[in-house]
Structure formats: C-alpha cells, structure tokens
Amino acid sequence: MDPSGLFSPDPELIEVGVGGLVVAEHPKRLFTPALGSCVALALWNPARGTGAMAHIMLPQPAPGAGPTHGGRFATFAVPELVRMMTKDGTKPRRLIAKIAGGAAMFRGEVAIANIGRRNIAEVKHQLSLMSVPLVAEDTGEGHARTVELLLDSGVMVVRSYQFGVRRI
C-alpha cells in the first residue's frame, strides 16, 4: 500500500489496451495511453451517461489472414463498439463520436508511413456507414497522444508532450 496515494491505482479509471473494446458508465473514466499511429475511438451516449472506447491498431486485417483479434481492426471495432452501445435500443445517430491518434510515427517505407492516415480514414468510413456523427477529432501530425473519456460530460482529454492538454 502506498501511504502517499501517489502510486495507488484509480478505481474509476479503466485502461483500454490495444484491440480493447470497453463500455462503462459514469463515474468511470476510460483511457488509452501512448497512441501513435493507432486511433482511439470514443462513443458517448449523453442521454445515459455511458461511453465506450476502442484502441484501433490497423484499418483491416490482411487478405487471407487467419484468426485475428478483431478489436485491433477498424472494420470490426467500429461496428462492434456501436453494437455494444446500442443494444439498449439507442439509435446510432444519438451517439457522439470523437477520435484521436493516427499520427505519422514511421518514416521511410510508404506502406507503414501512412498507416495513421489510413486508420483515421477507415474509422471515419465505418462511423459513416453506421450513421454515427463524428463531432471532434485530434488526429494526424507526428506526435503520440494519451486520451481519456470523461463519461459525465463526453469530453475527451487529449494529452501529448508536444502540445500539452486539449479537451475536445
């Protein structure tokens, strides 16, 4: 036990790891650390104070790929997260989506260099297919981000060494 409280885990804070799909309600908060080219998708239901987050690594699995962890891919993660948030009867258009990440972290090989941009494009495409409005984003550029979704307000807090803290 840490008597100072500095290193005690926050029981209200839920970490969403790579490929993770998590739904929670206030007073919980969702976060995902160290986004580079990955994209964090946050969905919030303002009527219920519930939210969800996905940590998306790639746009889609490689053609002919064997069994994969679907949450890593935008083509699976976005529809699945929307399904998880609407199983109570909520219409997808009533959700609010925000995204962060998709940075250009790799230089050199073109296929890897633009993976962040491809992740952003596929997440946006999937949201459009699901009729979920994207209301805010902090994407692209060349820096890593850590994000947190506050479920009482739907605010996404985006932290980076380069730009400090932004609230979207």
Average pLDDT over residues 115-133: 97
Give the model confidence (pLDDT) of 48-79 as tens digits.
999 999 999 999 988 776 556 789 999 999 99
The model's confidence at residue 1, banded by pLDDT at 50, 70 and 90, is very low
User: How confident is the prediction for the chain on average, in pLDDT?
Assistant: 91
For residues 93 and 133, give the distance between their C-alpha atoms in angstroms, rounded to a whole number. 6
Residue 3 CB contacts under 8 Å (≥ 6 apart), including other chains: none
Q: Which of 100, 113, 120 is nearest to 166 (CA)?
A: 100
Give the model confidence (pLDDT) of 78-118 as tens digits.
999 999 999 999 999 999 999 999 998 766 656 666 899 99
More confidently predicted of 66 and 23: 23
Q: Which of 123, 145, 144 is nearest to 132 (CA)?
A: 123
Task: Give pLDDT, residue 167.
Answer: 97
The CATH-assigned architecture of domain 17-167 is 2-Layer Sandwich (3.30)
Catalytic residues: 38
pTM: 0.91
For residues 34 and 17, give the distance between their C-alpha atoms in angstroms, rounded to a whole number. 10
